Structure 1
Amino acid sequence: MRDPVPLEAALALADLTDEVPLLSVGGVSGYLQSLLGGDPYLVRLWVTGEVSSCNRSRNGHLFLTLTDPETGDALSGVIWQNQAAKLSFWPEVGQQVIVLGQVGIYSRNSTYRMVIWQLLPAGAGLLALRFQQLKARLRAEGLFDNQRPLPAHPQCIAVVSSPHAAGWGDIQRTLNRRYPGLRVLFSPAQVQGEAAPESIVRAIQRVERDGRAEVLLVARGGGASEDLACFNDERVVRAIAECRIPVITGIGHQRDETLADYAADYAAHTPTAAAERVVPDLEELHRQGSQLRQTLINRINQALQRAQHQLNHTQQHLALVHPERLIQAAQDRLTQQRQRLIQAMRHHLHQQHQQQQALRDHLQALDPEAVLRRGYALVRDEQGSLVRTPHLPPGTRLVIQLASGHLRVQVEEKEEKK
């Protein structure tokens, strides 16, 4: 057995000086706890992992272990009883989750663990969290403050959608039914997949560069939430919010919600509803004009009937007293009142006639047949589609529709606009 080392020699070997701190075990734990508690990254963070163990204590606390499937690293966690009672679901072993909490030191056994405040299933839960975080950030930047008024009677609108989407067909049918003759500029884009966000942004930029459209309609039919993910892309949201003309969105079904809807000036539930919002119904306007005209005629007739009744009553009263001068004066006043009423009626009827004539002229101006009678023509290919560009190969057969018939022609050469 070796001889014990003298105290003086042990102190010399340990090199105890004033510069070296001396802590108890509890002091070390407390110091580490203060370091972790002051770290802004660890005081509040989201962690994702796989539940490898999950146990509930008698007092209602939930103890679990999160494991990284790739590295095998483990992190202990605890959800106190008051938070465990608020969980929307109960985690199971093997389940991927995402948790919100604070990392600290458990002083009893000097191990670090995470005090968990919120627990969500990974996948849909993570996507929902990222959606809300991006939504809050963009709202704070003011990208959802667009409330520009929409034109009441636009002459030219633009549509950004897929040429193969059912929503584009719904928009065309709705616009033709409600507002025939409207000029529609179509800017095609992909509305699904990884390339969709950039494609949508380029389509919006094309509309802005063109400069003719008074309002922009961004549309896509319904689909699964992942199909609509491109309309939650920050690039698309910024392009809509920064567009120089008002934007209407018609994305998905009534239950769907995208960040593009928040950035738009008006968000409709469906592409059809967006098309109904962008233009009025000319037939409905004509019907309302007719109703107003009839209402005005009825009110004038009622006023004339009241005046006639008053005239009859006055004549009966004057017949009893026979004051010649009063009778004549009353008759003069009634005649003047009658003339004013007749003039007012004629004036109102004239205004209604002018309004009705203006609506009739507007409808006639929008009539495609009237346009043809003015000397214009419609050029279609053999499939019946309108030809809008001279880029046709020689030999292409075309049908030219005139006001009084059709001509079948063949392209021999083309000339570019100089």
Structure 2
Amino acid sequence: MIESDRPWDLIAETALSVASLTDYIRFLIEQDEELQRVWVTGEVSSANHHRSGLFFTLQDPDSSAAIKCVVWNSQVTKLAQIPIRGEQLIILGSIRIYRERGEYQLSVWQALPAGVGLQALRHQELRKRLEAEGLFDSQRKRSLPPHPQTIAVVTSPTAAAWGDIQKTLKQRYPGLHILFSPATVQGEQAPESIVNAIRRVEVDGRAEVLLLARGGGAVEELACFNDERVVRAVACCSIPVITGIGHQRDESLVDLVADAALHTPTAAAERVVPALAELYNQHQQRVVALQQSVRFSLETAQKQLQEKRNRLRRLRLDRQVQQEIQELAWKRQQLVRATTTQLQQATQHVEMLRQKLATLDPKAVLQRGYAVVRQQNGAISRRLDATRIARSAAELAVGDELLVQLGQGEVKVRVREVKD
């Protein structure tokens, strides 16, 4: 009996406890470098929030395989995508053993959207980066020319958008010169094709504005307008760019960087050029506004003139003028009186001086019976300035000739006798 029980004793001695086995498995798994940092993709089948963290199950959509995952509270805010039931995710984490239940689970560090969600995440990251560079700032946007004579169109030559643009431009602005730069606007080759088309327009140098257009389509078909190469080509374009991309929900990155963005090619064509009918209506409106302005100015001037007239009537300007005339007449009389007085005084003074002159006049003395005797001697007597007035008998000698000036006429005499 004892010999038969020995194999069981040996088994009992060599058997591992549950804790030992669990610790051994834990050691093997958690020390595996491949499992310390592993990416796993799957669909969230359940999710529960707990006070210690977020617990969810990631299931393989093609089979029933599943793995339990946990995101501790300290890591939840760092996730790019919060796990929600039904979403496809790419999970980064490490395998950990839950010792109490003998289960393994994935301790999650990061969760990224998979499929379409991953594209959305990349789109969001690119948008943030371009926005940080200032490519979407409103200060960068240029105004479109009001009356362009030459515009460039970048779109597919086989797309309906190209026909809609031509029709709209011809109807609204006949005579416009359109430069067509064809490009592929869908597929993997589209970004490079669009960039080359924009570059051709810039090298040509004639266009005043560039219209980048595409008709409606699915999100995947419009992916080229979110390509960084296309966005930077539009941002660096030397002429204003207007986009007309057929989507109604979300703006593409090209729309954000363009100088103007419309939701359809037709709307973009209507925006880039004015309609002649609208220009004519605007002209008529300006004419009417100008007429009204002139009429208003005339009426205002007439009112002001009438107010001044009324004000002049109230001021009795005619009475003021009459008073001024009377004052001027009184001042005139004063001036005449003063002038007359001064004239009389001057006349009297002149008369007094005349009388004095008359009294001192030698001719007047001669008229009273006096005579002037001038002495003449030989040759000297022939010169008027050589004669001199005889003032003393002592100056004369017998035989001298004298010129006697009387009140009327002159006589010549000869001295016969000198008496002293």
Interval of TM-score (by shorter of Structure 1 and Structure 2): 0.5 to 0.7
Query: Equivalent residue for 1:152?
Result: 146
Query: Would the alpha carbon gap of residues 171 and 178 (structure 1) be closer, same or farther in structure 2, given more than 3 Å must change?
Result: same
Counterparts of residues 98-177 of structure 1 (less than 5 Å)? 98-99=89-90, 102-103=93-94, 105=96, 108=99, 113-115=106-108, 120=113, 122-145=114-137, 146-177=140-171
Distance 1:302 1:239 in 2: 53
Match of 2:237 among 239, 243, 251: 243
**Residue of structure 2 in register with 1:342 after alignment:** none
1:62 matched to which residue of 2? 55
Q: How big is each residue's C-alpha offset from its partner over 1:211-270, in whole Å with a ceiling of 9 and x where there is no partner?
A: 211221100111111221221223322322232222211111332421221232222222
Measured after TM superposition, the shift of residue 319 of structure 1 is: 6.2
Indicate the residue corresponding to 1:217 in structure 2: 211
- Quick check: 1:47–1:99 contact (8 Å CA) kept in 2? yes
Give runs of aligned pairs for residues 159-238 of structure 1, distance below 5 A. 159-238=153-232
**Which residue, 41, 45, 49 being the options, matches 2:42?**
49
Take 1:106 and 1:264, find their aligned partners in 2: how far apart are those partners? 54
Instruction: Give, as a single letter, the amino acid of the residue that structure 1 aligns with 2:55.
Output: L
CA deviation vs aligned residue, 1:277-298 (integer Å, no higher than 9, x gap): 3223343333323322322222
Write out per-residue CA displacement over residues 336-391 of structure 1, whole angstroms, 9 at most, x where no aligned residue.
xxxxxxxxxxxxxxxxxxxxxxxxxxxxxxxxxxxxxxxxxxxxxxxxxxxxxxxx
CA distance in 2, matches of 1:170, 1:263: 24
Q: For 1:254 and 1:267, locate their aligned partners in 2 and report how far apart those are by CA, in whole Å.
A: 12
- Structure 2: tracts of 5 or more residues without a match: 1-5, 7-22, 322-420
Cα 1:79/1:245, change in 2 over 3 Å:
same
- 1:97 and 2:88 equivalent? yes
RMSD of Structure 2 on Structure 1 (CA)? 4.4
C-alpha change, 1:320 and 1:139, in structure 2 (3 Å) is: closer
Amino acid at match of 2:88: V
The answer (yes or no) to whether the contact 1:56–1:62 under 8 Å persists in 2 is yes
- Distance change (3 Å), C-alpha of 1:77 and 1:292: same
Q: Which residue in 1 is equivalent to 2:381? A: none
For structure 1, list consecutive stretches of 5 or more residues without a partner in the other structure. 2-24, 328-418
Match of 2:218, SS state, is coil
Aligned match of 2:287: 293
User: In structure 1, what is the equivalent of residue 360 of structure 2?
Assistant: none
**1:366-377, aligned counterparts within 5 Å?**
none
Residues 240/116 of structure 1: CA separation in 2 closer, same or farther (3 Å cut): same
More helix by share: 2
CA contact (8 A) 2:136 2:257 kept: yes
Q: Distance in 1 between matches of 2:260 and 2:224?
A: 19
Identity %: 53
Distance between the aligned counterparts of 2:39 and 2:178, measured in 1?
47
Size of the alignment, in residue pairs?
289
What letter matches 1:90 in structure 2?
A: R
Q: Would the alpha carbon gap of residues 49 and 317 (structure 1) be closer, same or farther in structure 2, given more than 3 Å must change?
A: closer
| Closer, same or farther: CA 184–75 of 1 in aligned 2, 3 Å | same
Aligned mates of 2:49, 2:178 — CA distance in 1: 66
* Cα distance between partner residues in 2 of 1:224 and 1:68: 25
Contact conserved, 1:46 with 1:98, CA < 8 A, in 2?
A: no
Paired residues of 1:99 and 1:116 also in contact (CA < 8 A): no
How far off is 1:167 after superposition? 2.0
Query: Which one has a bigger Cα radius of gyration?
Result: 2
The answer to whether the 8 Å contact 2:181/2:200 transfers is yes
For the structure 1 residues 54 and 110, does the alpha-carbon distance in structure 2 shift closer, same or farther, using more than 3 Å as the test? Answer: closer
Cα displacement (A) at 1:186: 0.6
In the TM superposition, residue 275 of structure 1 has moved relative to its aligned partner by: 1.8
Structure-2 change in CA distance of 1:137 and 1:110 (3 Å): farther
Name the structure 1 match of 2:359: none
SS at 2:157's partner residue? coil
Secondary structure of 1:228's partner?
helix
- Give the TM-score normalised by the residue count of structure 1: 0.56
For residues 296 and 325 of structure 1, what CA distance do their matches in structure 2 show?
Answer: 44
Tell me the SS of whatever aligns to 1:301.
Answer: helix
CA distance in 2, matches of 1:300, 1:158: 42
Q: Distance in 2 between matches of 1:325 and 1:307?
A: 27
Please say if residues 57 and 69 of structure 2, whose CA atoms lie closer than 8 Å, have aligned partners that are also in contact: yes
- In the superposition, relative to structure 1, how do residues 106 and 151 fare at CA in structure 2: closer, same or farther (>3 Å)? farther
Query: In the TM superposition, what are the counterparts of 1:272-311 in structure 2 within 5 Å?
Result: 272-311=266-305
Alpha carbons of structure 1 residues 47 and 134: separation in structure 2 relative to 1, 3 Å = farther
SS in structure 1 at match of 2:244: strand
Alignment-mate amino acid for residue 199 of structure 2: Q
| Amino acid corresponding to residue 62 of structure 1 in structure 2 | F
Matches of 1:80 and 1:271, distance apart in 2: 50
Q: Deviations over 1:67-116 (max 9, x none)?
A: 5969x9976422569969x968423xxxx711456546457469562326
Letter in 1 for 2:262: A
Query: Partners of 2:46 and 2:216 in 1: how far apart?
Result: 40
Paired with 2:94 and 2:301, the residues of 1 have a C-alpha distance of 89
1:185, distance to aligned residue in structure 2 (A): 0.2
Change (3 A) 1:185 1:49: same
Q: Give 3-state SS (helix, strand or coil) of 2:221's partner.
A: coil
